[in-house]
Amino acid sequence: MADRTAPGALAARLTGRLATGERRLSGTLAEVTLDDGRVVVVKLGDGPRAAQAEVAGLRWLAEAGAVHVPTAYGHDGGRLVIDRVTQGAPSAAAAVRFGGALAVLHAAGAPAFGAPPPGGPREAYIGRAPMRNVSGADWPGWYAEHRVLPYLRRAVDDGTIRPAEAALVDRVCERLPELAGPAEPPARLHGDLWNGNVLWGADGRAWLIDPAAHGGHRETDLAMLALFGCPHLDHVLDGYRRTAPLAAGWADRVGLHQLFPLLVHAALFGRGYAEQALAVARATLAR
């Protein structure tokens, strides 16, 4: 009897095609070749909610008709099936196009800050960290309550950040209304837009994977791209600003928006990221 849990069986069931080949890439990833020649990736996520959130996020990003994302065929339990992206090398031209597409994605909007994608769970994930999608109308208050403070508290509880140090971040949250810049409507965010989630395709296009999609501030996606380095970032920003100018002072707010992913990393990976988060908090308070 065929193993219905095997990657090939799952890919066949969710795509409606026969699987003709299967290759394990790791303990959590496999490539499956279908009878029409396509290759899909079967991914083991961090549980049913994580797989549900990823599939819903990819579909929500695709609905904007702006950025390129692999087709998400669905999920079963903690596993999901998406098209494989054949990778190539990044180029300045692709980066400019990606920046413009990202601006269009953000402009597609969201019902509220913190709104999950349609069909996505409220209790979602960013990487391996839980992320709660709770809606709010006011970005500074929502960002503090649902994106900064939960991870700060976890880092303090784990002993990664000392209570006296946490007071720095608390002060940033208190000052958010004056630090946040001009009010903007909720943008449709990828939500975990570090360089590893941008694949530069062999087709000359940038593809986005592994979203933590939600409604948020568009500067957060851009700040995350800058946090861990992105090829041709200047060209990405140039393409973005040609399509949708950024509000005055946006460059001064990059650290403010990086506070969220840095605290997520501190909660997951320890003191090195905590020190980066505290340095950002100090710099932000000194503005």
Render pLDDT for 191-228 as a digit per residue (tens, 0 to 9): 999 999 999 999 999 999 999 999 999 999 999 999 99
Query: Above 70 in pLDDT, residue 170?
Result: yes
Q: Which fold has domain 7-83?
A: Phosphorylase Kinase; domain 1 (3.30.200)
Q: What is the pLDDT of residues 157-167, one digit of tens each?
A: 999 999 999 99
pTM: 0.95
| Res. 1: pLDDT tops 50 | no
What torsion, rounded to 10 degrees, do the Cα atoms 263, 269, 275, 279 define? -40
Q: What is the pLDDT of residue 4?
A: 61
β-strand partners of 199: 207
- Give the pLDDT confidence of 101-114 residue by residue, as tens digits: 999 999 999 999 99
Mean pLDDT of 236-247: 98
d(CA 57, CA 126): 12
Mean pLDDT of 64-93: 96
Average pLDDT value for the chain:
95
Count CA atoms closer than 13 A to 86's CA, side-chain side: 5
pLDDT at 287: 82
Q: pLDDT of 122-146, one tens digit each?
A: 999 999 999 999 999 899 999 999 9
- Render pLDDT for 62-78 as a digit per residue (tens, 0 to 9): 999 999 999 999 999 89
Cβ–Cβ under 8 Å, residues 58 and 51: no
Neighbours of 162 (CB within 10 A): 12
Q: What is the mean pLDDT of residues 232-239?
A: 98
Residue 11 half-sphere exposure, CB side, CA atoms within 13 Å?
28
Q: How far apart are CA 243 and CA 261, in angstroms?
A: 26
Dihedral sign, Cα of residue 181, residue 246, residue 205, residue 113 = positive
Domains in the chain: boundaries: 7-83, 92-285
pLDDT bin (cut points 50, 70, 90) of residue 3 is: low
pLDDT in tens, 26-51: 989 999 999 999 999 999 877 899 99
Over residues 244-263, mean pLDDT: 97
**CATH number of the domain at 92-285, please?**
3.90.1200.10
Residue positions counted in the chain? 287
Sign of CA dihedral 119, 13, 82, 260: positive
Query: CB neighbours (10 Å) of residue 51?
Result: 23
DSSP secondary structure string, the chain? ---TTSHHHHHHHHHSS-EEEEEE-SSSEEEEEETTS-EEEEEE-SSHHHHHHHHHHHHHHHHTTSSB-PPEEEEETTEEEEEPPPB----HHHHHHHHHHHHHHHHT--SSBTPPPTT--SEEEETTEEEE---BS-HHHHHIIIIIHHHHHHHHHTTSS-HHHHHHHHHHHHTHHHHS-S--PPEEE-S---GGGEEEBTTS-EEE-S---EEE-HHHHHHHHHHS--TTHHHHHHHHHHHSPPPTTGGGGHHHHHHHHHHHHHHHH-HHHHHHHHHHHHHHHT-
